[in-house]
Amino acid sequence: MPAPYPQEFREDVVRVARSREDGITIAQIAKDFGVHEMTLHKWIRQADIDDGNSRQDS
């Protein structure tokens, strides 16, 4: 099993995803950073929870 991504890397990718410009998709950001789109969605969801911004809109 591959080693998990470093926390700093995850935080950077989430920061980029949250501040993306209109027209830039999560899928494109995930591809640019070499992670799976669902992985990035999970990281964003976890960051929302960690920041106290959990959303109930699945």
Domain positions in the chain are 7-49
Q: Which two tokens stand for residue 45?
A: 């969801």
Closest alpha carbon to 39 in 13, 8, 15: 13
Domain 7-49 has CATH 1.10.3470: no
pLDDT tens-digit series, residues 33-49: 999 999 999 999 999 99
Burial of 58 (0-12, 13-18, 19+ CB in 10 A): exposed
Q: What is the pTM of this model?
A: 0.81
The pLDDT value recorded for residue 56 is 54
